[in-house]
A and B are shown apart, each in its own frame.
Chain A
């Protein structure tokens, strides 16, 4: 099977052309297959978020190539990146998970609305189905800011999946949650991964959670230092 995602010598520098120019990523080579459930670990400041933003097309690498489904994205214009991001990639962030002016259901609808312009019944059905899957259908008309962190993050996961993307990028999605909620959100993502074959790349500091992924990538000071696969985990998850 062809690789879903290929990073080829990705480098990223901040403050390019100034005296304080610093290179944060020093040539990352990485390939991910469709359906993988991957943890990205590393000490604070090593460049995990930077890498995730580049993969998520929110930021451009200083050099190197990023191929998504075999297509080189490095030379695409911004409008094409925006559109690809909307259709192919879902995001879950650590803080500020939802847009507070909207209800749970509206938050889930939002990516579809951005894409298609006007709300319709189909979007509502899809949102309800996802809310049901994350166990929050009863809360669908509650304003986002009136919900607990764990609930908000579950809705954020539902939202990330609204457009049925093939890749979900999660930057410390459980960093703010208590252990039980963190485990719940994590299991939710795992379930979507197994059922739909959605590829996940999850940044986490939590070793227990990382151990439940079928691949763990380690980043230290902007260089990949480890890449372990664990097929036993996957088998266990599938049978469990």
Chain B
């Protein structure tokens, strides 16, 4: 008997120890349940975090653009619309009105970290016989690289831009058979044309982006797209990435611009995450319930088996409260130990998965993110579940009539 333990703990531990088989089986059951939850949660968090990180470092969190051009229906008189079918006009490359003023106001806001202008349009890249249509983005590298971490994605050359330089994606470079130092002829529909030198090649992790995205200096893009002195957008990053949508709406309401947050542009991803989160929550609830039922079942049997012991303890002067505690503690211990075993099992499963689930080239699918708080939370929840599950059997034990228990 451990001197520092109280009666209820001593009895609880002994009873669990004596019913080794039952205890072992239920611990196995709890461990499997907890392992499933740990594995699933860690996977979900990892996928989510990795995607979010990638998105947040490869595109602005908020983009400000000129408002859409809309055709106004012809009105003959008040309330009577003559042309009922309104065609959407083609969207020209337009500069943001008053962009310097807007930029200054953006930079003055405390919830915005970086604001930088950009010019984008489409062009044709030609090298020898090969040509590809591309999107040209003109940027001020120092600020822009704080929004899109292009330097992190550079795989050849360097992320610096002179007036005649261009950064291209790996797939475009391959298609054109070009490498760092080679020259491209870039022409646009508005007649602009420049010979640009490839200074760096990046890999943004998506084929679409690697084929189409190219980056040049703001001025270079302005001259190519015939937009001297104008910009097509202002890119922002904010303090709280999840507040981006609210901030975007706020900006759109007060300024004559269209503000789009990364949350809107990645709506599909968020829908998918939401669906996954919901299904994982449901799985957790049902695993939790089955664990609870398992614990309750084992303890109900234990109460039946020990009813004479309980009667004797009551005859010795144990109060109902003490008997109640003996069985609640058993529930808690089962939940706690089960969750420890389950956390270990889940951790091992994650390791194995991380070792064997690989991309074709042997690189990891995505970095695994396992937060210690996951284990702490599951241990706490499992312990609580155990105590709650022990409630019914414990009450049954406490209510036992000692006379019946001893005679029976």
Complex CA gap A83/B320 in Å reads 11
User: Given A99-B312, A109-B1, are A114 and B6 also a contact pair (CB < 8 Å)?
Assistant: no
A183: interface (CB < 8 Å): no
- The residues of A that contact B360 with a CB separation of less than 8 Å are none
Complex CA gap A82/B312 in Å reads 12
A53 contacts B17, CB within 8 Å? no
A114 contacts B407, CB within 8 Å? no
- The residues of A that contact B318 with a CB separation of less than 8 Å are 82, 86, 114
Contact of B317 among A53, A82, A95, A120 (CB under 8 A): A82
State the Cβ distance, B196 to closest chain A Cβ, in Å: 82
The 8 A CB mask of A78-116 against B (1 = contact, 0 = none) is 010011011100010101100111100010011101110
Among B7-15, B80-88, B288-296, B336-344, the stretch that binds chain A is B7-15
The 8 A CB mask of A108-137 against B (1 = contact, 0 = none) is 011101110111100000000000000000
Query: Which A residues lie at the B interface, using CB under 8 A?
Result: 49, 53, 56, 58-59, 79, 82-83, 85-87, 91, 93, 95-96, 99-102, 106, 109-111, 113-115, 117-120, 163
Contact of A117 among B7, B14, B402 (CB under 8 A): B7
State the Cβ distance, B167 to closest chain A Cβ, in Å: 72
Q: Which residue of A lies closest to B319 (CB)?
A: A82
**How many A-B pairs with Cβ below 8 Å?**
75
- The residues of A that contact B275 with a CB separation of less than 8 Å are none
Contact of B316 among A53, A86, A100, A106 (CB under 8 A): A86
A58 contacts B18, CB within 8 Å? no
A96 contacts B312, CB within 8 Å? yes
Complex CA gap A94/B356 in Å reads 64
The 8 A CB mask of B284-316 against A (1 = contact, 0 = none) is 000000000000000000000000110011111
The 10 A-B residue pairs with the shortest CB-CB distance, nearest first, are A86-B317, A101-B18, A101-B14, A96-B308, A111-B316, A119-B1, A99-B309, A113-B7, A114-B318, A91-B315
Query: Which B residues lie at the A interface, using CB under 8 A?
Result: 1-7, 10-11, 14-15, 17-18, 308-309, 312-319, 322, 402-403, 406-407
A102 contacts B14, CB within 8 Å? yes
- The residues of B that contact A101 with a CB separation of less than 8 Å are 11, 14-15, 17-18, 309
Complex CA gap A115/B10 in Å reads 14
User: Given A93-B312, A101-B14, A113-B10, are A118 and B317 also a contact pair (CB < 8 Å)?
Assistant: no
A114 contacts B317, CB within 8 Å? yes
Complex CA gap A118/B1 in Å reads 9
Q: Which residue of B lies closest to A56 (CB)?
A: B315
- The residues of B that contact A119 with a CB separation of less than 8 Å are 1-3, 5, 10
Complex CA gap A101/B313 in Å reads 13
Complex CA gap A58/B7 in Å reads 21
- The residues of B that contact A110 with a CB separation of less than 8 Å are 313, 316
